[in-house]
Amino acid sequence: MFFSFSWIMGTSESTILDSNPIDSFFQGLVGACGISVLCHLMRIYNVIQTCSDSETEAESKHRPFSASNLLRGNWITFLQFWFLTVILSLVGSRVSSLIVLEFSLRAVSAWVSAGLDAKGRGLALLLTQCQFSLGCGLTCTLDFLHQGALHSSFSLFLSAVLSWAIANASHSVWSHVAKLYRLHSRERYCGKCITLLATGHTILASVQRVVVLAFAVATVASTATVYDHFLSQKDALKFWIPLTLCYTMLVVYIQEDQQRQTGKEVLLHTVLLRLGALLVLMLTVGHWSDVLHVLITFLGEAVCLLPSQDLLKAALKTQA
């Protein structure tokens, strides 16, 4: 019953994994590394901003962002990273492409309705929310670029190795900053901390430019993927045009509601609402595997947002 439109459009059911498991694993690993680097850089930026503030030590104890509370155990970071790797490996390119296009639409809507000023008002919140979408963007871009390649597995392996090295470097810097930046920024005898003291205020803007570039490339790959899998069938536009318009109106409504009310509960409600709408969309025009992949994305968003409460608090305080 739910899949009658899919049958009318002549689509067929697919397997749970779009590509071979090795390629999917490498793609998921690259996506998880991208999310890890994003979170580490944002935490480094927030620690630098906290330390550079002109508040007294007594006042700074009440700030929502404390480096001593942020340096989690290695085993928690380890579990989160590999959970994301597995989840991103399981989510297919079709659903990943839709998530990328949905977040791009949300980002444009946020930019038009509220704007992102030079001080980063709203920017940190948007970057925090984009974690899982960024991972999906990296995986669907790699899938698009390596379609039909003769040595795709070896190329994806090299990409995974490079991403792993970058993620390890960012984690090393974050560990150093969380433990020693307050002391070293005052004493000024650590070259790494002196460099961050001089250039740390530009981290958020640099992260924004890289994320925008990543989503720009991912949007091109996602558009091509959505066209190949959903829009190339006969009479597909008859179903997709009204559904796309309804989904666009829902995204705009969610964005306006988020501007009126800020809080962790509102953000979680927003995730459930937009992924629920995507689930209904896949029940209407997708395969059974797409429905399963959307359900997996609920877990992916939770794995990204629940351990990022410190980033959400800092972003909401900046936005207030």
Is 8 among the domain residues? no
| Number of C-beta neighbours around residue 51 at 10 A | 19
Q: How far is CA 129 from the centre of its chain?
A: 6
Question: Which range, of 6-15, 45-54, 235-244, averages the lowest pLDDT?
Answer: 6-15
CA gap 318, 83 in Å, rounded: 30
Domain extent, residue 302, equals 19-319
H or E segment to which residue 80 belongs: helix 74-90
284-316 pLDDT, tens digit per residue, is: 776 788 888 889 998 999 899 888 888 888 887
Q: How many independent structural domains does the chain possess?
A: 1
**Mean pLDDT, residues 32-53:** 90
57-116 pLDDT, tens digit per residue, is: 444 444 444 444 455 556 778 888 999 999 999 998 889 998 998 888 888 877 776 654
Is 67 among the domain residues? yes
Residue 116 or residue 210, greater confidence:
210
CA gap 308, 159 in Å, rounded: 26
Is 197 among the domain residues? yes
Is 252 among the domain residues? yes
Is 303 among the domain residues? yes
Q: How far is CA 247 from the centre of its chain?
A: 20
Confidence of residue 318 (pLDDT cuts 50, 70, 90): low
Confidence of residue 36 (pLDDT cuts 50, 70, 90): very high
Is 133 among the domain residues? yes
Is the model's pLDDT at 175 over the cut of 80? yes
In the chain, % of residues over pLDDT 70: 75
| Number of C-beta neighbours around residue 267 at 10 A | 18
List, in sequence order, the alpha helices (H) in 91-187: 93-113, 123-129, 131-145, 152-187
CA gap 217, 133 in Å, rounded: 13
Structure tokens given for 193: 């901390």
Is 276 among the domain residues? yes
Q: Which positions ≥6 away from 22 have C-beta within 8 Å?
A: 153, 156
Is 253 among the domain residues? yes
